[in-house]
């Protein structure tokens, strides 16, 4: 179907305004100034004096969440396995604490206007391989939506379209460039435009930065060249690029669940520039984190660093997310750092 240049120009302008629903893991420079302890094993690092999260009456993902993945470009089997097992760890109740599933319980605290919480269930859904780079090796924000359209409208094994519980995750290999990648973002989320895809679907894009900017998007497993005194941490899964992706994927899934249409949980007055739940903890991976310090983390017997356990003895580093504490009719937000 032919689309007018005016419509495409408007869509391009809108997508360019959405850099705030994007993320890069380089740590922020804010100091933590509040230290609240809740229970024996929980540590909370305060941020509420900087930013207050507010609910803006939009939906959150309360139905069972199914993550449909698009593998764009060239991927190794072991890379796919690391990412699949991370997604399957989100709802794995039997993982050793501190666990990915325990981290997700904090995300579950967020509710919609009817009081229903974000779903506990997150599972891996259908997958689509786009190994021949159907839209080229240089993608824009709009062409990312075209990749999703190709996946849901394919003549063979199209991805199912489920606007309620479906979440669409587009992952680009290390030889694919994406608009604003490395310079401004490592990943972002939004929803698809019916004029392009045919449906309104929440989606996220995350790129493999291994060959382009590992010091920016795979921190703390790689560090920027202009900081030679800072040593990178050892990756628990043996792939720095994918390790960085895991952290960004976790960030984007948490924000998609709590703000899928960019009208639910965020701070700030401008919905095109929201501060979302994982943005508040940027660069904080453990107790005491802030500035260029990641916080207290754990090391395994091989010297690899992690803060969360997954299934099948997997380990990962995930950004902390803020918990919300209800005091009467008020909502106080604090940064929960999992131990």
- pLDDT, tens digit, 9 for 90 and up, residues 282-331: 888 888 887 778 889 999 989 999 999 999 999 999 988 887 654 444 45
Rounded (5°) CA angle 79-80-83: 90
Three-state SS at 20: helix
Alpha-carbon span 297 to 111, nearest angstrom: 30
User: Cα dihedral angle (78, 79, 81, 86), rounded to 10 degrees?
Assistant: 140
| pLDDT for 255 | 96
| pLDDT for 51 | 63
pLDDT averages per 10-residue partition of the chain, 339 residues: 38 43 48 27 33 89 97 98 98 93 96 96 98 98 97 97 91 98 94 96 98 95 88 96 97 96 91 88 84 86 95 95 58 44
Could you give the residue ranges of the DSSP H alpha helices within the chain? 5-16, 77-89, 100-107, 141-152, 214-217, 240-258
- DSSP letters for 239-282: -HHHHHHHHHHHHHHHHHHH-TTSSSEEBSS-TTS-B-TTGGGT
Q: What is the pTM of this model?
A: 0.85
| pLDDT for 21 | 62
Helices vs. strands in the chain: H and E counts, helices first: 6, 18
| pLDDT for 325 | 54
Both tokens assigned to 206? 């995350």
């Amino acid at each position: 179907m032919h689309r007018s240049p005016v419509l495409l120009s408007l869509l391009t302008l809108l997508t360019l305004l959405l850099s705030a629903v994007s993320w890069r893991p380089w740590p922020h420079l804010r100091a933590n100034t509040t230290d609240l302890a809740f229970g024996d094993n929980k540590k909370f690092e305060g941020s509420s004096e900087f930013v207050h999260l507010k609910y803006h009456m939009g939906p959150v993902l309360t139905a069972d969440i199914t993550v449909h993945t698009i593998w764009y470009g060239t991927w190794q089997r072991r890379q796919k396995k690391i990412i699949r097992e991370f997604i399957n760890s989100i709802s794995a109740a039997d993982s050793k604490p501190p666990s990915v599933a325990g981290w997700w319980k904090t995300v579950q605290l967020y509710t919609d206007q009817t009081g229903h919480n974000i779903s506990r269930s997150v599972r891996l859904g259908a997958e689509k391989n786009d190994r021949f780079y159907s839209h080229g090796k240089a993608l824009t924000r709009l062409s990312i939506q075209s990749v999703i359209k190709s996946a849901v409208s394919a003549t063979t094994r199209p991805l199912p379209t489920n606007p309620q519980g479906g979440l669409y995750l587009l992952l680009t290999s290390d030889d694919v460039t994406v608009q604003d990648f490395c310079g401004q973002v490592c990943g972002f989320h939004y929803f698809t435009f019916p004029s392009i895809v045919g449906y309104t679907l929440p989606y996220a894009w995350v790129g493999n930065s291994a060959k382009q900017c590992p010091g920016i998007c795979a921190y703390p497993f790689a560090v920027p060249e202009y900081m030679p005194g800072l040593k990178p941490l050892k990756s628990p899964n043996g792939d720095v690029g994918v390790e960085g992706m895991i952290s960004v994927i976790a960030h984007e899934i948490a924000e998609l669940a709590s703000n899928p249409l960019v009208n639910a949980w965020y701070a700030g007055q401008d919905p095109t520039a929201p501060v979302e739940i994982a943005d508040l903890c940027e660069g904080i991976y453990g107790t005491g984190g802030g500035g260029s310090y990641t916080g207290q983390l754990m090391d395994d017997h091989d010297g690899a660093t992690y803060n969360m356990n997954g299934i099948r003895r997997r380990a990962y580093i995930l950004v902390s997310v803020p918990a919300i504490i209800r005091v009467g009719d008020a909502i106080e937000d604090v940064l929960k750092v999992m131990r």
